[in-house]
Amino acid sequence: MNEERITEKLNILADAAKYDVSCSSSGSKRKNDNNGLGNASNGICHTYTEDGRCVSLLKILLTNHCIFDCAYCVSRSSNDIKRAAFTVQEVVDLTINFYRRNYIEGLFLSSGIFKDADFTMERLVRVAKKLRTEHKFNGYIHLKSIPGASDELMREAGLYADRLSINLEIPTEAGLKLLAPEKNRQDMIKPMGFLNKEIIQRTEEKQLFKKAPIFAPAGQSTQMIIGATPETDHQVLYTSNYFYKNFNLKRVYYSGYVPVMNDNRLPALHTSVPMVRENRLYQADWLMRFYGFKVNEIVDQQNPHLDLDIDPKLSWSLRNLQVFPIDINTADLQLILRVPGVGLQSAQKIVSARKFGKLNWEHLKKIGVALNRAKYFITCSSVKFERRDLTGSAIKQYILAQSKSKYLKNSVTQLNLF
């Protein structure tokens, strides 16, 4: 291996991969039971950069050559940049070397499109196959599937990869047409449907036959770029919800658009990356998946954007003050989950703990409830604090005034509580 050339390729192709946020090694149970290398079932630690990007995987492109010209992408064919491509064997060697040196726990491999979808996908699959079969590699593998790749290759990919993902890129079909007219949304949706069917079928087989091969055990995910096109948060979350429901996605990743291209269809170069919006979308996504919120409760056509200064659960609570205060000692779990400052675990602990006696503020604090937020929305068996007749905007100001959030700058006045 020519080390200098490999290092150069690595610089180019790791840098080009950094715009893809859809890598997370959660959810796989691949075990090392054949004296092989690595173990994705444990020992995978998730390291995230400050802006939430996962760094525990070797994250590279097979190539940044691409026949397409998507306006939002650094690898687009019309962009005058240095190009490079790894061979299949080079990616395999790098992964094994980095893994042995303890730099990584797995591989996230994406690619520009060399010639056509199948030509590229076939190489991605070969990397995963070599790692699994020749090197007995049991670390985590996430393959970015190429839209339009054939079912046979997708099926093979699922036998070797832990997770497969196909990026939607832009939340709506109209947005995709505007920025990537050569791309066809159906080419993304079709393989998602295929994978969904295969995952369900293979899971059923596995339950019947212990020896049936595992298939994409960490499921499939997708990514949408936020802020490159003018979609509202309502449209973004509506799309996510549709794909969660119909394609059983494990995760939708939201990637704030990084303005790297001068193109009059895109936000200007100096526009800042919508990091707060990205964060709010993740919070809203979490509410839909784990807290029983429907898209229309979080945002709707009249209020299509998420608040940037407060999180979406607090925002919903302030718009629905008639629901509160709830009695923490008697309310249903589903309602407790809607209280700002009460997380999933705290809600479950509350329901278990109250079987042994009435809960008061001290108990709630010990359970882990963030009382600085929750106290405006609940009652319990102590009266040290009562919400009285505070309006939604007053509660919001009190909470923001006490918040250590980096978004505090949006809080304008500090009010005294009593």
Residues in contact with ligand SF4 by CB under 6 A are 66, 68, 70, 73, 75-76, 112-113, 180
DSSP state at residue 389 = T
CB of 105 to ligand SF4, least distance (A): 25
Residues near 177 by beta carbon (within 8 Å), at least 6 away in sequence: none
CB of 401 to ligand SF4, least distance (A): 43
Structure tokens given for 417: 């509580």
Nearest CA-CA partner of 233 in 185, 274, 277:
277
User: How many helices and strands (H and E) does the chain possess?
Assistant: 15, 8
Paired with 58 in beta bridges are 107
Longest alpha-carbon distance in the chain: 72
CB of 238 to ligand SF4, least distance (A): 23
CA 311 – CA 246 distance, rounded (Å): 27
CA 189 – CA 195 distance, rounded (Å): 10
Phi-psi region of 47 (alpha: psi -120 to 50; beta: other; left: phi over 0): beta
CA 334 – CA 280 distance, rounded (Å): 21
Nearest CA-CA partner of 147 in 117, 110, 181:
117
Q: What are phi and psi of 250, to 5 degrees?
A: -80, -40
CB of 180 to ligand SF4, least distance (A): 6
CA 141 – CA 92 distance, rounded (Å): 11
Q: Which is nearer to ligand SF4, 63 or 240 (CB)?
A: 63
Paired with 54 in beta bridges are 48
Q: Which is nearer to ligand SF4, 112 or 341 (CB)?
A: 112
Q: Which is nearer to ligand SF4, 40 or 66 (CB)?
A: 66
CB of 215 to ligand SF4, least distance (A): 25
Paired with 224 in beta bridges are 169, 254
Q: Which is nearer to ligand SF4, 68 or 286 (CB)?
A: 68
- 364, 341 in Cβ contact below 8 A? no
CB of 320 to ligand SF4, least distance (A): 40
CB of 225 to ligand SF4, least distance (A): 9
Q: Which is nearer to ligand SF4, 69 or 297 (CB)?
A: 69
CB of 67 to ligand SF4, least distance (A): 7
CB of 187 to ligand SF4, least distance (A): 10
Nearest CA-CA partner of 188 in 233, 229, 249, 232:
249
* Residue count of the chain: 418
CA 369 – CA 364 distance, rounded (Å): 6
